Amino acid sequence: MQAIKNDVIAYNVCRVANGGCYISVQNGEVQVQAPWYITREKIQTLVEEKAKWISEKLREYENENIKKRNYISGKKIKILGDYFNLVIIYENIKLPKLVVEEKIVKITIPNKYKRLDVSDIIGILIEKMYERIAIKEIEDAMEKTRIMLGIAPEDYEIKRIKHTLGKCSNNKKIMINPDIVMFSKEIIDYIVLHEFCHLKYKTHARKFYQMLEKYMPNYTEYENIIGNFNY
């Protein structure tokens, strides 16, 4: 709801059993708390008396959200090792949507959210984008590695794991974090190979690294790029 339109302040009224009459600005909307016996006319008068203060609070909220939106729009999104510019636009649509174009991740947000903090919505859309890309990229890497090594896990799952890109369980199930598609295809291949080696060697013993080096001699290069992620 637009809080001020044509100099008229829109507000919501919450009736309470007792207490005073209070005005607050929450998430860009004007809220009035009033006892049951206070008339609409009295509430309207109070809102008009506080009009200057309400306008200042709404401007503060809008300015803060503009800063947030500009910051979000300036972010870089990493996909398969390349950086894409994040662009946020607002249109008269019902649901948010994300489109990946040439070096651009374009997110379109419904106009009704224009005065709100949309960082959570943007985060969810980006997570879903990574999941869609991961389905193809991880499947390709799994199949290539299966053919190369001649072994396969009992099952594999694309699953978000905190601070972890890949994991091989005791029952020989491999889990790969969809956020892995931030990295290049070569690093995706490396993480999948790493987990395949765990099918044969549970720990990072000497034979584990010998197997890893046999199929990917430059694996240490990818280890350095990945940094603090576990796998």
Tens of pLDDT along the chain (231 residues)?
445 554 678 888 888 887 788 898 887 788 898 888 888 888 899 888 888 888 888 877 776 665 555 546 668 899 999 999 999 999 999 999 999 988 999 999 999 888 788 888 999 999 999 999 999 999 999 999 999 999 999 999 999 988 889 999 989 999 999 999 999 999 999 999 999 999 999 999 999 999 999 999 999 999 888 876 777
Answer whether 83's CB lies under 8 Å from 76's CB: yes
Sheet holding 76-79, edge to edge: 76-79, 82-91, 104-110, 97-101
Which residue range(s) make up the domain with 146? 130-226
135, part of any domain: yes
141, part of any domain: yes
- Residue tagged 């910051």 (tokens): 71
200, part of any domain: yes
13, part of any domain: yes
Q: Give the per-residue pLDDT at 25.
A: 86
231, part of any domain: no
122, part of any domain: yes
- At residue 116, what is the residue type? L
Q: Give the per-residue pLDDT at 227.
A: 73
> How many domains does the structure of the chain reveal?
3
| Whole-angstrom distance, CA of residue 106 vs CA of residue 114 | 16
Sheet holding 22-26, edge to edge: 11-16, 29-35, 22-26
Query: Residues 83, 40: one domain?
Result: no
Q: Give the per-residue pLDDT at 64.
A: 65
Query: Residues 119, 136: one domain?
Result: no
Query: Residues 107, 194: one domain?
Result: no
Q: Give the per-residue pLDDT at 6.
A: 47
Query: Residues 58, 104: one domain?
Result: no
User: Could you tell me the pTM of the whole model?
Assistant: 0.68
